[in-house]
Amino acid sequence: MKYFSTRNSMYGVTAAEAIAKGLAPDGGLFVPETLPQLDMDEIAALCNMDYCGRAVYIMSKYLDDFSEDELKALCASAYGSGFDCDAVAPLRVLNGTTAVLELWHGPTCAFKDMALQLLPHLLTASLKKCGEERRVCILVATSGDTGKAALEGFADVPGTKIQVFYPNDGVSEAQKLQMITQTGKNVGVTAVVGNFDDAQSGVKRIFSDADFASKLTERGYFLSSANSINWGRLLPQIVYYFSAYCDFVKSGGIALGDTVDFSVPTGNFGNILAGWYARSMGLPVCRLLCASNANNVLSDFLASGCYDRNRAFHNTLSPSMDILVSSNLERLLCNLSGSTEETAGYMKQLSDSGRYTVSPKLKAAIDECFVGGYCSDAETLETIKTVWDKDSYLMDTHTAVAYKVLCDIRSGEGVERPCIVVSTASPFKFSDSVLKALGDNAEKSGAELIERLSEVSGIEVPLPLRGLTEREVRFKDIIPPSGMKTAVDEFLK
């Protein structure tokens, strides 16, 4: 199967090349030329497989340059002991029509693990297939979650190194502890004086430094990123939509062939787009509910057809969704319009003026499947409390946004169709907000909040978040942005 850029249909590459390159040379994203189809017999067969079996079956349809044995080995290393339950992505049925898909049983207790546990293995295998002999060094600027998930994914993966820069003033105490205590022989973690933008600009400068790149080539290294527009991060996410559907069938909540909705807390549009791929491959999904916080650029877009990033940015209680440019939307526009010229036009308008309006035809195609909604921080907290009181189920702030948007849509329509709420983080990752929602105002900070939430809820702290303060601190450097290149230079000596 070939992959093409969303902005130019002339240039086709293999799956391995798409993953090795990350971004197309014209700035577009790689999309598969066709969407493989699964019939109901195949979905019935998936119901009897474990998570790895489902992952191998679905991903092999897109990765025809990988053998089945290769994929089995990749999935076994990704979805094994790093996860705290055999189901990997378990489905919790709350009541007859509502279930929650928990994507946070991996090593960092958040959904990015679903892709970042697999990507390093997929990437090194892809580089080998492309004849790349240099070793890859992943550079990450992080505002918290992605950095830790990437560190966990790449730690001790042969043929790779990873250097993470985090803003000294821009991450929570728990996030910082998670990163500076990271284990692994091939990892580096450094604090940068300033905010996230300072760290991000520093990384971009290093990427565009051609002299530095050739110096690294002489040493047998090249630099790459692990960001969410890489096809290798999207593909593993398609799997859990199928997996959740199968588990809902097995629980008796729906019958095989029934349609379900999914409600997805959305930021960069990567998670929900994977749901759209699953739907387009034949999974009986009726609608995808695109849930936003106060940064409601996507729900405005779904209502009006106009994407407009010229607006105030809000820091919310669901920070991983605080995004104004949802990069992965470009893939949907390309697939539904069927035109790379049209897509390139929208993206040019976005970079020139910060906005674009899609054609009525494209708008109609999007409306056929997507419906948007958003909620405030106050509603987020209220929702956590309501669900805890009613169903004894504890949700984090991101999941609560998706749950609230589902409730709004259901009450607006006066019907309750079966729906799976996609849960993207453990409540313990956002202990401060969750405690506030439950009405607990204990004067605590950092890691103590995690213990406190466990006391209040009677739920055990997930293993990766236990004893954070007792772990050995391995990384203490704090540098100015001007020192970042030297830090990478030293790291790769």
Ligand X SMILES: *Cc1c(COP(=O)(O)O)cnc(C)c1O
Could you list the residues that contact ligand X (CB under 6 A)? 110-112, 145, 265-271, 320-321, 398, 424-425
Up-side HSE of residue 380: CA atoms within 13 Å toward CB? Answer: 28
Rounded Cα distance between 316 and 453, Å, is 20
CB 487 within 8 A of CB 202: no
What minimum distance in Å lies between the beta carbon of 278 and ligand X? 14
Other beta carbons less than 10 A from residue 25's beta carbon: 11
CB-nearer residue toward ligand X: 19 or 402: 402
What minimum distance in Å lies between the beta carbon of 112 and ligand X? 5
CB 146 within 8 A of CB 113: no
- Specify which residues 301 forms β-bridges with: none
DSSP structural state of residue 318: S
What minimum distance in Å lies between the beta carbon of 159 and ligand X? 27
CB-nearer residue toward ligand X: 241 or 269: 269
What minimum distance in Å lies between the beta carbon of 111 and ligand X? 6
Secondary structure (H, E, C), 237-270: HHHHHHHHHHHHHHCCCCCCCCCEEEEEECCCCH
The pair of three-digit structure tokens given for residue 36, joined into one six-digit string: 């493989």
Residue type, position 144, single letter: G
CB 174 within 8 A of CB 455: no
Among candidate residues 268, 275, 289, 269, the one with its CA nearest the CA of residue 241: 275
CB-nearer residue toward ligand X: 107 or 267: 267
CB-nearer residue toward ligand X: 182 or 266: 266
What minimum distance in Å lies between the beta carbon of 398 and ligand X? 4
Q: H/E element holding 413?
A: helix 397-413
Of the residues 2, 61, 112, 390, which is catalytic? 112
What minimum distance in Å lies between the beta carbon of 268 and ligand X? 3
Buried b / exposed e over 54-81, threshold 16 CB at 10 Å, is bbbbbbbbbbeebeeebbbebbeebbee
Is residue 204 flagged as an active site residue? no
CB-nearer residue toward ligand X: 22 or 267: 267
What minimum distance in Å lies between the beta carbon of 185 and ligand X? 27
H-state helical runs in 80-172: 112-116, 119-129, 145-154
CB-nearer residue toward ligand X: 178 or 320: 320
Rounded Cα distance between 278 and 260, Å, is 12
CB 293 within 8 A of CB 319: no
Those residues whose C-beta lies under 8 Å from the C-beta of residue 152, and which sit 6 or more positions away, are: 82, 106, 107, 108, 113, 116, 117, 182
Those residues whose C-beta lies under 8 Å from the C-beta of residue 211, and which sit 6 or more positions away, are: none
CB-nearer residue toward ligand X: 124 or 142: 142
Among candidate residues 21, 88, 14, 20, the one with its CA nearest the CA of residue 52: 88
Residues constituting the chain? 493
CB-nearer residue toward ligand X: 24 or 272: 272
Rounded Cα distance between 296 and 372, Å, is 9
What minimum distance in Å lies between the beta carbon of 127 and ligand X? 24
Among candidate residues 198, 246, 261, the one with its CA nearest the CA of residue 415: 261
Active site residues: 112
